[in-house]
Every structure is written in C-alpha cells, then in structure tokens.
C-alpha cells in the first residue's frame, strides 16, 4: 500500500517536472522560464526525498540540502540578472 502511494507520487512529480520543462522551453517571457526552473528544482528535491523513503536510506539527505542551496542561489542570480542586467557588480551605487 505504502509503496503504491510512493510510486504514484513519484509519477506525478515526474509529470509536474515535464510540465514545468515545457514552460522553460516555450515560455513567452524570461520570468516564466525562471519560475519554471525554480519549480523543477523544488520538484526534484521532493522526488529525491521520496526515492530515499523507497530505498530506506539516509544517504540522499545531504543531496537534498545541497540541491536546495544551489537552486536558491540560481534563482536569486537569474532574478537579479532580469531586474538589473548584471549579476555581480563591481561597485554598487548605494
């Protein structure tokens, strides 16, 4: 029973990633693509968590943390690039 529920949720997360990937490919604007990439990151974290439940191991928990950190920094970098045009500034004006 539990295994079935976990497998169904894995399939649904995979479907969600496919939908978000469609938005990344065919997004009309750049912010759509950024939100799609962030959504792919969050769903990938959930998939790894469910896989670690299915395999009954704790080895993937650090993968979840590292992927979360990288996705967070990547989203911040993309949004800063969209808003200001640069990612790392030499000298800011404030």
List contacts with other proteins (CB under 8 A). 59, 62, 65-66, 69-70, 72-73, 76-77, 80, 83-84, 87-94
Residue 59 is given by DSSP the state T
Q: Specify the residue, 11 or 86, whose C-beta has the smaller distance to other proteins.
A: 86
Q: Please return the burial class of 9, using the count of CB atoms within 10 Å of its CB with bins 0-12, 13-18 and 19+.
A: middle
Least distance in Å: CB of 22 to other proteins? 28
Q: Which of 71, 68, 89 is nearest to 80 (CA)?
A: 89
Q: Specify the residue, 2 or 94, whose C-beta has the smaller distance to other proteins.
A: 94
């Amino acid at each position: 029973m539990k295994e079935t529920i976990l497998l169904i949720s894995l399939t649904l997360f995979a479907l969600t990633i496919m939908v978000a990937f469609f938005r990344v490919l065919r997004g009309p604007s750049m912010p759509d693509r950024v939100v799609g990439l962030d959504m792919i990151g969050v769903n990938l974290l959930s998939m790894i968590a469910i896989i670690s439940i299915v395999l009954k191991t704790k080895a993937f928990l650090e993968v979840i943390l590292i992927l979360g950190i990288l996705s967070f920094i990547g989203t911040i970098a993309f949004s800063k690039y969209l808003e200001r045009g640069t990612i790392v500034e030499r000298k800011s004006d404030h």
